Amino acid sequence: MTAISDPTGAQSPGPEPPVRLSLTPEGATPGRLDGAWWPRSHDLLRELPPLAAALDPTWGKITRVTVNPTHWPVIPRRVPVAGHVIHVGWFEEEQDADEVMVCSFTPLRIELLVIPPEAEAPAAEWLMTAASDPANTRTGTDLLTAAGVPTADPRAGG
pLDDT at residue 147 tops 70: yes
* pLDDT-wise least confident of 99-103, 126-130, 138-142, 151-155: 151-155
User: What is the distance of C-alpha 72 from the center of its chain?
Assistant: 10
pLDDT at residue 5 tops 60: no
How far apart CA 93 and CA 81 sit, in angstroms, is: 28
How far apart CA 107 and CA 153 sit, in angstroms, is: 32
Q: Band the pLDDT of 13: cuts 50, 70, 90.
A: low
With beta carbons less than 8 A apart as the criterion, state whether 35 and 24 touch: yes
Q: What is the model's pLDDT at position 144?
A: 96
- Cis bond before residue 107 (omega within 30° of 0): yes
pTM for this entry: 0.84
